[in-house]
């Protein structure tokens, strides 16, 4: 089942593990983040955030605060007249908008909701002023849970909405009613994936400086163009007067994918005060101020025939959106519903998705974007079904997987399964894991140390190469799905590749340089990559996100480089005085085909192209090309995971002993980066399966405000991860690359939960809520027979 890309010259950069360009700088502490931008005289900005989960603002009095020495400005919601609401990226039919501005004006909707901002000479003055801002409020009913918010007659968070529902989506396919009527087996369950925090090493941060008649903003973002468009819209400025720069970004994971209120506020302050300003989110602040991830509940109801084949599936998906639909609306719940059937053929579905507002920090994009939330319920339910039917968990999956000869295979949502060998990779993963022997060992009972062993598997699909503008429309995203790149060969023969993508740690600049170098027959060192500044970066309608850097931006790089290669060839032919079709690019130069001695280096051609007087007919001086690429379809990566866990029966503590991870992301541009992406994703997934959870008390107060309460995985919590790669190119692009940025995080929670369930045995309570904390596991332990 492994098909290798064709037409790739030996020794090419694509497919080789070129060293990550940023690695040296990052690991030696030489990264340059928003905090490091030299801005002499920059004012320190501090946001005042609500400590109440829901209250009407009666007044905000900043008179005393403004008099504190060193304080330059204190703005409250009332000072934002003329400033527009924060824009929404998602725009589904019938959705409700909060129209919230960057500061609260009439209501505080969650603990963390900003209602005033101080700009001062230093942090002490800012803190002194913050303490003197007087806020008068009147408490309002608090909804902590989606059930409270959805209860009939529940108080509304927004007076202009009919209820607390952000928006809905409904899909049907086939005849679900008939499927259930014909079912031999019917299983159902309620599954929840908890609220998590992206926990980027670098929290968010924004700096801004007046710049002529406009403003320059430095921000830790995945999406410089989106941020620029958003600031321009909110401040009613023409876009060209706003410049947005992403310096090094210390992790983003979706959380930095959309515009945030602080970006608008800092631009506003710089313009109003005509002074540079800087806000750096503290770690504590990040836990309430930066959008959380996940927080989804899925009620699943599935009909199987006597052989364990799917007949129909019904689902009711509810996303806890927190207090503000903000940029992403019900996007994650949309994706959960759109890919809920995973790699399987389900003939009939009836799926409802919705998002509900509660008085908590908004939820938004987090690596996986609705896909772990979809995978967990289905893969847990498949294990339950396997047990009911007396089938091996691998067998029930095998029977239902979409076969390669049925692809491209359209899901109920219109998403196309493009290519791959789902069952073949499952088999290969199990083989590598030693599945049969592992099951036998587990069946032999607890280990000598008393720990109980369990084996679990899960399979997944990953929606990647986000784009096709029609899919963006379908899914409710306003923007197109294309990406643009510019390739410029300089007079020295060195290439500067300008990309619209914003690297955030995933190494996309390295892989894109590899693609560019190959098309121009250059060593990869001869390509420098320019990114992260709206002044120079080509426009990308969307962003870095949706695992599209390799597949979508990569194709725009390839197309632009091909155009430049043709230009270089024609220049070379002219200078060599031969017909253009006799000249080929090779080894950092051009030569007459079959005559290696008649050649010119890139440098010689480039010098002539920029400085020479002898311009070939039909060409113009200089060597530069651009290309935009809008993919014809999504690309679906996929894979299977097998894990072995052991459970301490006294403490309920789960240890993941080992993981075998088989995946297919099509043609790998840079195998070492792909490896790192999968491993990093797995690490995050282990955290979100066993430890991590943003919690609130019954009154709506957050309980997780530091790394004492919020537990990311430590290196010692992670097992050896054995990776297995298939390479099935997507048929929808000549590059053949599918995305891998979110691969690692999708199926690991279900695989671990299945393994823990296996360890606890049929009498154990259901492992259907994440995370699998010791408390949950102990509660689920089978009763002790005395």
Nearer to ligand MCN, 386 or 550 (CB): 550
Query: CB under 6 A: which stretch of 448-456, 575-583, 644-652, 672-680 binds ligand MCN?
Result: 672-680
Residue 79 beta carbon to ligand MCN: minimum distance, rounded to whole angstroms: 34
Nearer to ligand SMO, 366 or 435 (CB): 366
- Rounded CA separation 248/33 (Å): 5
- The answer to whether residues 466 and 482 touch, using CB atoms and an 8 Å cutoff, is no
- The answer to whether residues 194 and 772 touch, using CB atoms and an 8 Å cutoff, is no
Instruction: Write 80-86 long-range contacts (CB < 8 A, 24+).
Output: 80/105, 80/268, 82/236, 83/234, 83/235, 83/264, 83/268, 84/233, 84/234, 84/235, 84/236, 85/234, 86/230, 86/234, 86/259, 86/260, 86/261, 86/264, 86/326, 86/327
- Rounded CA separation 314/330 (Å): 19
Q: Name the H helices within 133-169.
A: 146-150
Task: Report the site for ligand MCN in 440-469 (rule: CB under 6 A).
Answer: 464
Partner interacting with residue 251 (select from ligand MCN, ligand SMO, none; CB below 5-8 Å by kind): ligand MCN
Query: CB under 6 A: which stretch of 66-74, 280-288, 544-552, 768-776 binds ligand MCN?
Result: 544-552
Please give the sequence-ordered ranges of beta strands (E in DSSP) within 360-482, or none if there are none. Answer: 409-410, 416-417, 452-464
Nearer to ligand SMO, 365 or 524 (CB): 365
Decide if residue 485 touches ligand MCN (CB under 6 A). no
Task: Report the site for ligand MCN in 141-200 (rule: CB under 6 A).
Answer: none
Partner interacting with residue 505 (select from ligand MCN, ligand SMO, none; CB below 5-8 Å by kind): ligand MCN
Pairing of strands 277-280, 43-49: parallel
Angle between helices 331-338 and 371-389 (to 10 degrees): 30
Decide if residue 665 touches ligand MCN (CB under 6 A). yes
Residue 21 beta carbon to ligand MCN: minimum distance, rounded to whole angstroms: 10
Q: Which residues contact ligand SMO by CB under 6 A?
A: 222, 254, 257, 365-367, 369, 545-546
DSSP 3-state of 484: strand
- Rounded CA separation 603/489 (Å): 9
Residue 439 beta carbon to ligand SMO: minimum distance, rounded to whole angstroms: 35
Q: One symbol per residue from 264 to 293: x for binding ligand MCN (CB under 6 A), - otherwise; what is it?
A: ------------------------------
Residue 366 beta carbon to ligand SMO: minimum distance, rounded to whole angstroms: 6
Residue 101 beta carbon to ligand SMO: minimum distance, rounded to whole angstroms: 25
Decide if residue 381 touches ligand MCN (CB under 6 A). no
Q: Name the H helices within 236-298.
A: 261-273, 283-289
- Rounded CA separation 502/700 (Å): 35
- The answer to whether residues 70 and 121 touch, using CB atoms and an 8 Å cutoff, is yes
Residue 91 beta carbon to ligand SMO: minimum distance, rounded to whole angstroms: 18
Phi first, then psi: give them for residue 84, nearest 5 degrees.
Answer: -80, 165
- The answer to whether residues 76 and 148 touch, using CB atoms and an 8 Å cutoff, is no
Decide if residue 226 touches ligand MCN (CB under 6 A). no
Nearer to ligand SMO, 44 or 413 (CB): 413
Nearer to ligand SMO, 214 or 505 (CB): 505
Partner interacting with residue 670 (select from ligand SMO, ligand MCN, none; CB below 5-8 Å by kind): ligand MCN
- The answer to whether residues 356 and 322 touch, using CB atoms and an 8 Å cutoff, is no
Contact pick of 372, 741, 764, 771 for ligand MCN (by CB under 6 A): 741
Task: Report the site for ligand MCN in 62-81 (rule: CB under 6 A).
Answer: none
Nearer to ligand MCN, 276 or 372 (CB): 372
Instruction: Name the residue number minimizing CB distance to ligand SMO.
Output: 254
Q: Which two tokens stand for residue 421?
A: 């060998």
Partner interacting with residue 362 (select from ligand MCN, ligand SMO, none; CB below 5-8 Å by kind): none
Footprint of ligand MCN on this chain (CB under 6 A)?
251-254, 367, 464, 504-508, 511, 544-551, 665-670, 673-674, 677, 680, 737-742
């Amino acid at each position: 089942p492994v098909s290798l890309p064709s037409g790739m010259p030996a020794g090419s950069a694509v497919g080789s593990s070129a060293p990550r360009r940023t690695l040296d700088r990052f690991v030696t502490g030489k990264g340059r983040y928003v905090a490091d931008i030299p801005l002499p005289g920059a004012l320190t900005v501090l946001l005042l955030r609500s400590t109440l989960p829901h209250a009407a603002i009666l007044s905000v009095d900043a008179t005393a605060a403004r008099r504190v020495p060193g304080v330059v400005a204190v703005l409250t919601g009332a000072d934002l007249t003329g400033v527009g609401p924060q824009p929404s990226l998602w725009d589904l039919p019938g959705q409700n908008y909060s129209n919230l501005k960057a500061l609260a004006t009439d209501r505080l909707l969650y603990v963390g909701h900003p209602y005033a901002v101080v700009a001062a000479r230093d942090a002490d003055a800012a803190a002194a002023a913050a303490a003197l801002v007087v806020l008068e409020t009147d408490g309002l009913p608090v909804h902590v849970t989606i059930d409270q918010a959805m209860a009939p007659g529940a108080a509304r968070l927004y007076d202009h909405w009919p209820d607390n529902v952000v928006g809905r989506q409904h899909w049907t396919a086939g005849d679900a009613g008939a499927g259930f009527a014909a079912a031999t087996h019917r299983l159902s369950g309620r599954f929840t994936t908890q609220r998590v925090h992206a926990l980027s090493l670098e929290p968010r941060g924004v700096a801004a400086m007046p710049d002529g008649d406009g403003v320059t903003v430095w921000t830790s973002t995945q999406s410089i163009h989106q941020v620029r468009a958003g600031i321009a819209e909110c401040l009613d400025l023409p876009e060209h007067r706003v410049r947005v720069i992403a310096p090094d970004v210390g992790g983003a994971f979706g959380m930095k994918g959309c515009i945030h209120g602080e970006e608008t506020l800092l631009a506003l302050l710089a313009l109003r005060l005509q002074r540079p300003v800087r806000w750096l989110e503290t770690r504590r602040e990040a836990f309430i101020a930066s959008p959380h991830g996940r927080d989804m509940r899925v009620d699943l109801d599935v009909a199987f025939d006597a052989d364990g084949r799917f007949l129909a599936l019904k689902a009711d998906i509810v996303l806890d959106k927190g207090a503000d639909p903000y940029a992403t609306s019900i996007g994650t719940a949309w994706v959960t519903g759109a890919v809920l059937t995973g790699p399987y053929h389900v003939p009939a579905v009836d799926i409802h998705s919705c998002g509900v507002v509660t008085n908590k920090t908004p939820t938004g994009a987090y690596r996986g974007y609705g896909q772990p939330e979809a995978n967990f319920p289905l893969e847990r339910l498949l294990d339950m079904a396997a047990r009911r039917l007396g089938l091996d968990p691998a067998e029930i999956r095998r029977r239902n997987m979409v076969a390669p000869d049925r692809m491209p295979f359209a899901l109920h949502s219109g998403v196309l399964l493009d290519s791959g060998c789902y069952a073949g990779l499952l088999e290969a993963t199990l083989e590598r894991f030693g599945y049969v022997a592992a099951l036998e060992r587990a069946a032999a009972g607890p280990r000598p140390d008393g720990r109980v062993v369990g084996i679990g598997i899960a399979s997944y699909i990953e929606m990647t190469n986000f784009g096709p503008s029609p899919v963006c429309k379908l899914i409710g995203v306003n923007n197109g799905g294309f990406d643009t790149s510019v390739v410029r060969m300089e007079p020295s023969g060195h290439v500067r590749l300008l990309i619209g993508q914003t690297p955030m740690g995933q190494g996309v600049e390295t892989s894109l340089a590899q693609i560019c170098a190959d098309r121009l027959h250059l060593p990869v060192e001869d390509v420098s990559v320019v990114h992260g500044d709206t002044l120079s970066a080509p426009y990308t309608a969307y962003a870095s996100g949706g695992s599209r850097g390799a597949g979508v931006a990569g194709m725009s790089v390839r197309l632009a480089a091909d155009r430049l290669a043709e230009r270089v060839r024609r220049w070379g032919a002219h200078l060599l005085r031969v017909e253009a079709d006799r000249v080929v690019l090779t080894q950092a130069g051009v030569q007459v085909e079959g005559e290696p001695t008649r050649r010119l280096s890139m440098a010689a051609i480039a010098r002539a192209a920029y400085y020479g007087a002898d311009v070939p007919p039909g060409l113009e001086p200089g060597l530069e090309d651009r290309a935009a690429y809008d993919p014809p379809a999504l690309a679906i990566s996929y894979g299977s995971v097998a894990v072995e866990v052991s459970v301490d029966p006294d403490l309920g503590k789960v240890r993941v002993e080992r993981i075998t991870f088989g995946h297919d992301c099509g043609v790998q541009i840079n195998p070492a980066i792909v490896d790192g992406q999968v491993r990093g994703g797995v690490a995050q997934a282990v955290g979100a399966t066993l430890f991590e959870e943003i919690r609130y008390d019954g009154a709506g107060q957050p309980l997780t405000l530091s790394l004492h309460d919020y537990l990311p995985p430590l290196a010692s919590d992670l097992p050896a991860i054995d990776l297995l790669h298939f390479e099935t190119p997507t048929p929808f692009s000549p590059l053949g690359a599918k995305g891998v940025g979110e691969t690692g995080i999708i199926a690991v929670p279900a695989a671990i939960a299945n393994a823990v369930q296996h360890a606890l045995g049929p009498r154990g309570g259901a492992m259907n809520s994440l995370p699998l904390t010791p408390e949950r596991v102990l509660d689920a332990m089978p009763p002790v027979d005395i």
